[in-house]
Amino acid sequence: MIPSFSYIRAGSVDEAVRYLSLDGARVHGGGTDLLGCLRERIFDVTTVVSIAGLKELKGIGETPTGGLRIGSLTTIAEVARDPVIRSKYRALSMAASEVASPQLRHQGTIGGNLCQKPRCWYYRGEFHCLRKGGDQCFAVEGENAYHCIFGGDNCFIVHPSDTAPALVALQASVTIAGPNGRRTVAVENFHMPPSEDYTRETVLEPAEIVTEIVLPPPAEGLRSSYRKVRARRAWDFALAGVALAIVFSGDQASDCRVVLSGAAPVPWRSAEAENVIKGGQLDRDRAVKVAAAALKNAEPMEQNEYKIPLFGGLIEQQLMAIAQAESR
């Protein structure tokens, strides 16, 4: 049963921040993750502060420098079908199209997708795990087929977002509003690894909210993509996913980012894989070497070693596809 709470509709970002400073306050945007968290008693709540009516947090538009601004309340469906994103930032369009179901994409927001809670069944269930104030991660000796192969440290969740890896690959940033004003954080640095704080998913401080996502102007010769593998043909979270953003100069890769989803508690950028790509021509042999480099330091758990060949095949396949794609 969902607990009772007060509900406030904020009239501005500043008003939302002020109400979110109350003890037990939580923000409501699209509500798709919030509803599940309330039902599963993930956290205590006394006040829900709705920002759903704030028009300033909606919409997609060009920045003065030629990049793109996406309001945090822009729906996933709007991101997926936007013609500029589809043309210039293909990885983000592809990732947004992979999120959940059509119904949830029309309700869920891009800001919420970045900030959602993990889907670990111990965390979501009736287990007093480390992340909820307990003294252990139950996945270590329990069911861990869907848990991480990188960066677990003391908590072995995987970050559930599809859009976050694409945004990291595309070098996006978020604007955050809070009691101390506004600040900008690269999406690559937005999520909190368990080694730094296993009780938090992001760098958001109390009463802070994401107001927008900003993408830089796409580099000439940029090609990007995102693909994930899921357990069910219907909508599901990633067992393995890869976001690629590669800048080509002729047939040579001059710069790149490789970011994995379903692999770690945060979107996992592989510098090892990127180093193999840079300065070379993408062919089958290089794709195999890139996959091997990306997975060299993986530490699978007892039940998720299958992720190693799964990621390997996915990385190779996507590299060969992007090598043959048009620049975008």
In sequence order, what are the beta bridge partners of 202?
A: 191
**102 and 200 both lie in a single domain:** yes
Cβ neighbours of 210 (radius 10 Å):
25
**Cβ(194)–Cβ(154) below 8 Å:** yes
Do 18 and 75 sit in the same domain of this protein? Answer: no
User: What's the confidence (pLDDT) of residue 3?
Assistant: 82
Do 78 and 213 contact (CB within 8 A), yes or no?
no
Q: Which residue in this structure is represented by tokens 């692999």?
A: 263
Q: Where does a domain end: 215, 244, 264? A: 215
The pLDDT, as a whole number, for residue 326 is: 59
Q: Which residues of the chain have pLDDT under 50?
A: 327-328
Instruction: Please check whether residues 62 and 204 belong to one and the same domain.
Output: yes
Is residue 59 one of the residues assigned to a domain?
yes
**Following CA atoms 145, 148, 150, 153 in sequence, which dihedral angle do they give, to the nearest 10 degrees?**
-110
- Predicted local distance difference test score (pLDDT) of residue 110: 98
Shared domain check, 170 and 289? no
Q: What is the pLDDT of residue 325?
A: 84
| Cβ-count burial 68-106 (b if 16+ within 10 Å, e if not) | bbbbbbbbbbbbbebeebbebbbbbbbbbbbbbeeebbe
Q: Is residue 91 located within the same domain as residue 64? A: yes
Q: What is the CATH number of the domain that holds 93?
A: 3.30.465.10
47-50 vs 6-9, strand pairing mode:
parallel
Domain range spanning residue 25?
1-52
pLDDT value of position 252: 94
Give me the pLDDT at residue 236, please: 85
Q: Name the domain count of the chain.
A: 3
pLDDT of residue 2: 84
Q: How much is the pLDDT for 27? A: 98
Residues 207 and 238 in one domain: no
Tell me which residue of 142, 110, 136, 127 sits closest to 41, measured CA to CA: 127
> Within a domain: residue 124?
no
